[in-house]
Structure 1
Amino acid sequence: MSEIIISFIEFLKQFSYFGILLSLCFEFVPAEVVLPLAGFWVYQGDFNYYLVVLAGTVGGTIGPLTLYALGRYGGRPMVLKYGKYFLVSQKQIDASDKFFDKYGSGVAFFARFMPVVRTAISLPCGMAKMNVWKFSIYTFMAMLPITAFYVYLGYKLGPHYKEAEEIFNSYALPLALIIIAGIITVFTYKYVNKRKKSQSI
């Protein structure tokens, strides 16, 4: 199956950066296959790293909206019926449901770094009728570092780009925690400064 997907991605390569973006709009094409391969193309000198990351991030934000829409407008019965066509298993759906129930809408960001639920998490977000703009922003914020890291791994690994997924899974959770810590630090800094200014008036 992976060879068929790689052949499909290779076909889309002829459309340059738009082809990379387009390939990620199909949820049955895993980002962990597309992005390291795109990184390998950067290694070969066919593409620019930063433009690949931009195209991959945009495509990786548009793609999950299909599963979000399936969850929002079809509900659980349709998700269970058609999820398999997006390569989403019952196990992934159940795990995503539990993850969403436990952590709320923030999982649209955080779950992108988790191996089992990263694809299927769009479904419970849709079923919960989470605001589509909020969902898209969280997804974009998660896909930017994920895309950058995957493409970088593909670039550094060169011909061995297929090993990128295993390496990514080892660093995904620490990467998410670093990003969250950074966000908290920025907001805390802004809040403290705002308080200081209001007290000085």
Structure 2
Amino acid sequence: MFEEFILTILHAFKSLSYFGVVLALTFEFIPAELVLPLVGYWVYQGDLNLILAISAGSIGGVTGPLTLYALGRFGGRPLVEKFGKYLFIREKDLVASEKFFDKYGPIIAFLGRFIPGVRTVISVPCGIAKMNVWVFSLYTFLAMVPITAIYVYIGYTLGPHWTDAASLIAVYLKPIGIVILVVLTFFFLWKYRSKLRKR
């Protein structure tokens, strides 16, 4: 029932073309995992251009997280705990994202986009920590370009079966996130050891 309601909203946004794609992704209660494959289907139908659709999706992939970033920056954790449920922010996901941020710092704004359960709410601890908004936006955009491209392209490839995209993509995104996490862990260990040697 809820998904049908969301689909009705998305079809209304379709009339706004690429701006509608950005707008749909700006509202964090609408899952990007639903929006982007549908956008790919619109490309399949010939209503949108693939490159422009990916570009619009990547921009929306920044404006959406910026709303949660602002919630964390200007409201702090108490406001998030009070109103986060209306944006489908679960307590366990918030705690997980805070732990990731504490461990890896600002780069988590990029890395967190590839980690299921952390992807959506990672913007909150970035805001609470008052991370530079331009750095946050840049990291988020760099992560969202490949993610958006994957979702939209698979939705385009699947055509009428675009609803199968989310489960299919999850299989690929998780290993990518793990690889990135391992690489960054080794990078930070290398930097840490380099500092110790200089001392």
* TM-score where L is the length of structure 1: 0.86
User: Can you list the C-alpha shifts for 1:110-142, whole angstroms capped at 9, x where unaligned?
Assistant: 111111010000000001111100000000000
Distance of aligned partners of 1:77 and 1:21 in 2 relative to their CA distance in 1, 3 Å threshold? same
Deviates more, 1:114-123 or 1:92-101: 92-101
The aligned residue for residue 151 of structure 1 is 152
The aligned residue for residue 140 of structure 2 is 139
1:67 aligns with 2:54: no
Structure 1 runs not aligned, ≥5 long: 183-201
Matched AA of 1:114:
I
Separation in 2, partners of 1:7, 1:91: 30
- 2:54–2:149: 8 Å Cα contact kept in structure 1? yes
1:24 counterpart SS class:
helix
The aligned residue for residue 8 of structure 2 is 7
The aligned residue for residue 170 of structure 1 is 171
Structure 2 runs not aligned, ≥5 long: 184-199
1:174 CA displacement: 3.8
User: Can you list the C-alpha shifts for 1:59-82, whole angstroms capped at 9, x where unaligned?
Assistant: 111111110011011111001111
The aligned residue for residue 31 of structure 1 is 32
Separation in 2, partners of 1:180, 1:55: 27
The aligned residue for residue 118 of structure 1 is 119
The aligned residue for residue 85 of structure 1 is 86
Deviates more, 1:108-117 or 1:166-175: 166-175
- 2:115–2:177: 8 Å Cα contact kept in structure 1? no
Separation in 2, partners of 1:92, 1:81: 15
Matched AA of 1:171:
Y
* TM-score where L is the length of structure 2: 0.87
1:173 CA displacement: 3.6
Identity %: 57
User: Can you list the C-alpha shifts for 1:47-106, whole angstroms capped at 9, x where unaligned?
Assistant: 110000000101111111110011011111001111111111112111111111121111
Deviates more, 1:134-143 or 1:157-166: 157-166
Separation in 2, partners of 1:181, 1:42: 35
Q: Aligned residues, how many? A: 183
Task: Please list, as runs of the form range in 1=range in 2, the aligned pairs for 1:19-58 lying within 5 A after superposition.
Answer: 19-58=20-59
Distance of aligned partners of 1:99 and 1:181 in 2 relative to their CA distance in 1, 3 Å threshold? closer
Distance of aligned partners of 1:52 and 1:181 in 2 relative to their CA distance in 1, 3 Å threshold? farther
Runs of 4+ in structure 1 over 3 Å off: 173-182
The aligned residue for residue 95 of structure 1 is 96
- 2:24–2:30: 8 Å Cα contact kept in structure 1? yes
Deviates more, 1:37-46 or 1:165-174: 165-174
Separation in 2, partners of 1:54, 1:128: 29
Separation in 2, partners of 1:179, 1:124: 20
- 2:41–2:160: 8 Å Cα contact kept in structure 1? yes
1:11 CA displacement: 0.6
1:179 CA displacement: 7.5
User: Can you list the C-alpha shifts for 1:23-54, whole angstroms capped at 9, x where unaligned?
Assistant: 11111111111000000111111111000000
